[in-house]
Chains A and B, each alone.
Chain A
Amino acid sequence: MKRLSLRCSAGTTGAVLAALLSAMPLAGMLASPAAAEAAQADPDRPEATWSSIRGDIFPSAKIADAGNAVRIDAPGRAEDAALVPLTLALELPKDDPRTLKAVTLIIDENPSPVAGRFAFGDGIRTFSLSVRVRVNSYSWVRAVAETSDGALIMTKAYVKAAGGCSAPATKDTAESIAKLGEIRFRSFADSGRAEAQVQIRHPNFSGLQMDEATRGYTPAWFVREVQVKQGAKLIFAMEGGISISEDPTFRFSFTPSAAPVSVRAEDTEGKIFARTFPGNGS
């Protein structure tokens, strides 16, 4: 019922959103590999969909178990299927000479299963990324990381949520459109956390949402690319799909510096949104 309480409190949306986001833990109850293994045998959590899409996403590539190098923090049962908070925690072992190139987030049962691919700047060995996604039916959520040698490692978590891709537009959506492309940046260094957050106002229509007025589906319209840089250095670049929730919001590993932070986003209509912020996040 979170959606109802969220949506009906007009005027407090920002505060509620802020509270919601600050409730997104960067580290916490991470799915243990043992639990994931035990779940693998569960017939109610089928691998059939993954088998059918895997080759399209990673043609002929071997994918190894990531162990603790990739962890997913996901709610087992989501309160709001249109706003499921996920945190990907990537950390290569200390003796591993490789770096991280990218991580792909996949939601098996979503009609467009690739939620996003996030590429990193050079030299990244540890990275934490939180994002909110839509989950259309009970599904495995997978994070497949790509290391500098081209190897793939994967971790998965099972999420019970349904209807996220088709949850209709709300009053917040109208506001997202009114403020289309507004970008916010905030560093959490002050509170002792090496993290920052970027939010882009955008309805991120999935194309699966029924429009109450036209009784038809609202056309897909979403942010397909986001690039966040610190000075000239890339922090991350996302190629996103319809599974990223309205008002795409990313919380990520960040150490403030004198270098300004620049955010550039482009949506499926080719609209470009960009803004630069002081590097200290204030």
Chain B
Amino acid sequence: MSRTTQGAGRSSRIAIAVLGGLCLLAMPTLAQPVAAPSAPSAPTAAPPAEPEGYRLDAYRAPVPATLHGARVLDASAAAELWRKGGVAFVDVLPRPPKPAGLPAGTLWRDQPHSTIPGAMWLPNVGFGALNAETESYFRAGLSAVTSGDVNAPLVIFCQRDCWMSWNAAKRALAYGYTDVSWFPTGVDGWGEAGLPLEAAQPRP
């Protein structure tokens, strides 16, 4: 069984993992937008530049103003597409699955999540690197929500200051989707605009 995630002596790698850990600490607060302890969003700070590749850690942090190859939507632009219809909305808020092998009778309660009505929720596809299983889950989800048409319009989002949506939108572009929009403020911006939200369940 390869449970050991870091071998002894790989200290730089460990340091990276630890830094990632610090950032990941804040990640589940995505489900709870109020007062995330490590959300460092100074309103006057300029947004960070686009990284070359995917963001690999510190997902809960200010995001770039742009995503190369994608349109960037504010809430009213997203709402316009939503009202128009025929546009696939994809929520990528992460949520760990219930672990296998918990003792019988263990009480389990998934954190409830509300999303844009009609959106497909594909959790965990916005991490910086995906394993093969999550990769194929994302590809299958996108294929289903667009009925297999890579030219179909897609809107990808999660919550404000969430690199997961930036990563996922970038990944959709890499998969060959041609009409990708990124909605950076996500369900937070949507809710603040007085638009409706509905209880979400992840795509199996």
Contacts and interface: CB of A to CB of B under 8 A. Distances in A.
Contact of B17 (A57, A168, A221): A168
A203 B3 CA distance: 10
Taking residues whose C-beta sits less than 8 angstroms from the other chain, chain B's interface range is 35 or more
Contacts of A49: 109
A47 interface: no
B134 interface: yes
A53 B5 contact: no
Interface string A216-230: 111111001000000
Given A82-B25, A221-B3, 11 more contacts: A4-B19, A81-B25, A137-B29, A138-B29, A161-B37, A163-B26, A163-B29, A166-B25, A210-B24, A215-B134, A217-B99
Contacts of B96: 111, 165-166, 207-208, 217
Chain A, interface SS category: loop
A7 interface: yes
B108 A111 contact: yes
B203 interface: no
A147 to B, nearest CB: 23
Given A163-B24, A163-B27, A168-B20, A241 B106 contact: yes
Query: Which has the most chain A C-beta neighbours within 10 Å: B4, B111, B134?
Result: B4
B143 interface: no
A8 B72 CA distance: 39
A168 B26 CA distance: 12
B49 interface: no
Contacts of B13: 212
Contacts of A170: 6, 14, 17-18, 21
B77 interface: no
Nearest first, the 7 A-B pairs at minimum CB distance are A207-B99, A163-B25, A220-B99, A215-B131, A208-B96, A162-B29, A169-B5
B176 interface: no
B106 A167 contact: no
Contacts of A215: 127, 129-131, 134
Nearest to A212: B17
A3 B22 contact: yes
Interface in A171-207: 171, 173-174, 177, 203, 205-207
26 contacts: A10-B11, A111-B110, A112-B102, A138-B29, A160-B35, A160-B37, A162-B29, A163-B25, A166-B28, A167-B25, A168-B5, A168-B24, A169-B5, A169-B17, A170-B14, A170-B21, A171-B14, A173-B6, A207-B101, A207-B102, A208-B96, A212-B13, A212-B16, A215-B127, A216-B134, A221-B101
Interface of A: 1, 3-4, 7-8, 10, 44, 49, 52-53, 56-57, 77, 81-82, 109, 111-114, 136-138, 160-171, 173-174, 177, 203, 205-208, 210-221, 224, 241-242, 268
A217 B97 contact: yes
A218 B14 contact: no
A167 B24 contact: yes
Contact of A111 (B26, B27, B98): B98
Nearest to A170: B18
Contacts of B85: none
B101 A220 contact: yes
Contacts of A114: 106-107
Nearest to A106: B107
B46 interface: no
Contacts of A211: 5
Contacts of B36: 162
B107 A113 contact: yes
A220 B102 contact: yes
B6 A169 contact: yes
Contacts of A82: 25
Contact of B5 (A109, A218, A221): A218
Given A168-B5, A220-B99, A77 B28 contact: no
B28 A165 contact: yes
Most buried by A among B4, B27, B99: B99
Given A57-B107, A162-B37, A241-B106, A219 B101 contact: yes
Nearest to A215: B131
Given A7-B18, A207-B102, A56 B3 contact: no
Nearest to B34: A44
A111 B100 contact: no
A163 to B, nearest CB: 3
